[in-house]
Amino acid sequence: MKQILISDPTLRDGNHAVAHQLSAEQIAIYAAAANKARVPIVEVGHGNGLGASSLQVGESLVDDITMLTTAKKYLTFSKLGIHVIPGFATIQRDLKKAIELGVDVIRVAAHCTEADITQRHLGFAREKGKEAFGVLMMSHMAAPGLLVEEAQKMVQYGAEAIIIMDSAGALLPPDVTDRIEALVQDLPVPVGFHAHNNLGMATANSVAALQAGAKILDGTARGFGAGAGNAQLEVLVAVLEKMGYSTGIDLYGMLDAADIAEKNIMPSVPVIKSESIVSGLAGVFSGFSKHVARISKEYNVDQRDVYFALGKRKVVAGQEDIIIEVILDIVKNKQP
Amino acid sequence: MEPDLQQNCRASSTGLLASLEPLRGQTILVTGGTGFMGKWMAEAVVFLNLQHNFGITLYLLSRNTEAFRNTVPHLARQPFIRLLEADVRNVRDLPENISYVIHAAATPDRREHATQPLRVIETILKGTISVLDASLRLPLLNKFLYISSNNVYGQTHNNTNGIAENSIGYLDSNSINAAYPEAKRLAETICAVYRNQQKLPVVTVRPFAFTGPYQDLEKPWALNNFMRDAILGGPIRILGNEHTVRSYLYGSDMAFWLLAILSSPKPANTYNLGSPEGISMTHLAEKIAASFHHKIDIVIKSAKDDNTHYSVVIPDLSTLTRDIPVKKAISLDEAIAATLQWYQHHSTIA
């Protein structure tokens, strides 16, 4: 039976859905449930990853150290993973500490055309003997050939797997197939896929990735994640079982973990809201949704206009400060 | 116990000392001289001078000589080892008594190739031209050894007998990995032009993979990574196809083979330099794991399910051994043991 490695960022991507307000208690509850379900990797942290808590992208309720220490305590089977964007996370201040706290899997992420910035972080993770994955975010913004080149750089830097993220939930299954096939063809290391559900394609895209040769899939309990959420992990596990793949995850345990997550960590289960559909169509990073909603309301502008304007400007994660600029432009243009 | 590198030099010099006689009293320059190759050349010259009174003067040219002084003070303090601090792209005047040049400057680190491809190209091309020009003005010059790379072969048909010097394969000039091999190829051609037009006594050497003390554990090569994984308690992670075959020559063998090529009367040739004994990644990982007393797992991480097609990159040494009586003195097992011992004393992670 073919093995698929599942990485669960419920406690990281899900933090986007609650403006990074997951508490230590909530982290403990879900970490214990995911561990019991034998989820291979549980990713924990601020939505934008290690060291990202800030006024610009949102301050988290609890600091990185508390989040990681809490999760580690309950992850006796599952590996503890972190999302690391160089710039937010520095090696000396953040990564070194995270490794000391027992992080097992370090997923070093960059915008899909900027793999160059990951060299030192990937190198450091490998030097410390940790599993180091390269992550290319916003992968709808690069053609398959360019993604391959950026991924090749990450492999040269030491990445042991490459995961592409459909951060905006903008891809359709054939787009995913093209990208994953190209990567599998030209890379020596395993390829993975991280879906968002803006266009309702998260599970279908994950299956497309699998059929194109992906060996790693991300999914979250109830799809708890930025914007319209991610691929719903308990559904994904069930679908993979039906397709004859092995994830090592206990299905009942995962179903229980999802119930526990819904009850204890989600103010509401992710649904595909109108603005998420627009965000997916415009190709805007799902992590922008809370900021766009808040500032649009403040300035009384239509969120949908904001997403299309952001899409035209090809904004990427980390450029949250452009949201206000775009909204002010819309306000200015509305004035008689 | 720390490995005795001078003892390694003694083993590697066995059978070659007579052929090295032309180097007696000569002055050798190594550019890129403070890296792995330069340090082993220094060890070899220390052995020849202190044990056999060769009286060689060795100049090591590098951008950062301070690091050399700090990391290998036992070599730096030898009166016959002299450090020249310069950027190889701007070399103009070299000490006039230099009679042999080994132009090795250029990083083989593929992370640099991916991140700084233009700088890599510039260093290789400008550096080679500037050292060639400076060498033209050396009145006593006997030989100019250009250190190229096995990367110039590109993708060759797998041949378990090794890649011969005339079996150049496919190289995708548009690949992000092309900067280094393409620049090395062009640099070989530039050297050939100086040989043809200026009658400079150029010999080209295409090194394969090496191992041994002085190689940093963080370097992105399978053997180093396997050793690092093992030192950290494992698992050893094989990235890509586990059947991939490579070969490894120990540092002291590399240094004495280079000296033998340098002193050979054969002019104008191209030689492979490396171990002809291939080993698969699986067997290499098993060998390293077996060097430890505790159990170390081996994990294979590959993009593809079908790994029946794999690359074999080992040198065919027919041309070299036809001209020069080189013989591998340090086995791979001995090389791994010595390297692991050395890391225990010199690596912060060991």
B302 CA: distance to closest CA in chain A (Å) = 4
| Chain A residues with beta carbon closer than 8 angstroms to that of B343 | none
Q: Which pLDDT value is given to residue B306?
A: 83
A209 CA: distance to closest CA in chain B (Å) = 13
A215 CA: distance to closest CA in chain B (Å) = 8
CB contact under 8 A, B114 and A153: yes
Q: Which pLDDT value is given to residue B350?
A: 55
Active site residue A140: no
| Chain B residues with beta carbon closer than 8 angstroms to that of A184 | 303-304
Q: How many beta-carbon contacts under 8 Å exist across A and B?
A: 69
| Chain B residues with beta carbon closer than 8 angstroms to that of A110 | none
pTM as predicted: 0.91
Length of chain B: 350
Q: Which pLDDT value is given to residue B218?
A: 83
Q: Which residue has the higher pLDDT, B310 or A140?
A: A140
Q: What six digits make up the tokens of A181?
A: 């096939």
Query: What are A23-71's pLDDT values in tens digits?
Result: 999 999 999 999 999 999 999 999 999 999 998 889 999 999 999 999 9
Query: What are A229-269's pLDDT values in tens digits?
Result: 999 999 999 999 999 999 999 999 999 999 999 999 999 99
Which chain B residue lies closest to A192 (C-alpha atoms)?
B303
Query: What are B55-101's pLDDT values in tens digits?
Result: 999 999 999 999 999 999 999 999 999 999 999 999 999 999 999 99
CB contact under 8 A, B305 and A189: no
CB contact under 8 A, B217 and A127: yes
| Chain B residues with beta carbon closer than 8 angstroms to that of A215 | 303
| Residue type for position A154 | M
Please report where in the chains the tokens 């590198």 appear, as a residue. Answer: B5
Q: Are A6 and A249 in contact (CB under 8 A)?
A: yes
Query: Chain A within 8 Å of B246 (Cβ-Cβ)?
Result: no
| Average pLDDT of span B110-136 | 96
CB contact under 8 A, A153 and B237: no
CB contact under 8 A, A153 and B115: yes
pLDDT(B348) > 80: no
Q: Which pLDDT value is given to residue B43?
A: 98
| Average pLDDT of span B174-189 | 95
pLDDT(A92) > 70: yes
Q: Across chain B, what does the average pLDDT equal?
A: 94
